[in-house]
Amino acid sequence: MLNKYARAFFTRVLTPFAALLLRLGVSPDAVTLIGTAGVMAGALVFFPMGEFFWGTIVITLFVFSDLVDGNMARQAGISSRWGAFLDSTLDRVADGAIFAGFALWYAGRGDDTILCAVAIFCLASGQVVSYTKARGESIGLPVAVNGLVERAERLVISLVAAGLAGLHKFGVPHIDILLPIALWIVAVGSLVTLIQRVVTVRREAAEADAASAAGGPADR
């Protein structure tokens, strides 16, 4: 949902910056690696300490690398399977670090076992949601469904809530409740999305198997 519109908008906005990096001799792979390292640092250093505002600021500065590296590759005409693989793989690493940071907070000074479990569920379900689409496509199915909560939605909901929750340390009362609400929303939304994709793959697989069976005798 957000992927479709937000990605196109920010790609246009970041195009001049991507061009500048290319002129400076920076490679798309370097941007991918630096961006992932920055997101991991923001999530795993700041979030476990309860510094959600500053952690979100750091993560936001680096998360746009996901758009910049692809933009650079297209401008330079060097798009490759390796680049796509590296980008997709490190996206999963970055996403995992964000929810791991939340889980570490609730397992430690946040002292909430239930929310720790919810954060871990968000981490695991996000990985599985991505895997279902990749695995379905790898066996030749279109997996023609977006789902309720994809990667962009997971990041926007959780990071906006975390950033606002961090204002609690600046004296804003009761705003820290936003992060638990966001985690529950992401958890439920991810579960719904997972079910949507599994149902879609099952239907598409059945249709593909039926078409193959029907076409078998005619081919012979």
Binding-site positions for Mg(2+) read 66, 69, 87, 91
Residues annotated in the binding site for a CDP-1,2-diacyl-sn-glycerol, as ranges? 29-32, 70, 74, 80
CA distance 69 to 58: 18
The answer to whether 191 touches 141, Cβ cutoff 8 Å, is: no
Tokens found for residue 146:
């977006």
* Residue 209 bears catalytic tag: no
Residues annotated in the binding site, as ranges? 29-32, 66, 69-70, 74, 80, 87, 91
Would you give the DSSP letter of residue 46? I
Closest CA to 189 of 131, 143, 133, 150: 150
Q: Which of 91, 176, 209, 219 is catalytic?
A: 91
Tokens found for residue 124:
């695991």
CA distance 123 to 130: 11
CA distance 28 to 208: 37
Closest CA to 31 of 73, 59, 60, 3: 73
Three-state DSSP class for residue 109: coil
The distance between the two most distant Cα atoms of the chain, rounded to a whole number of Å, is 76
HSE-up (13 A, CA, CB side) for residue 180: 13
CA distance 81 to 57: 31
Tokens found for residue 132:
């279902």
- The residues assigned a catalytic role are 91
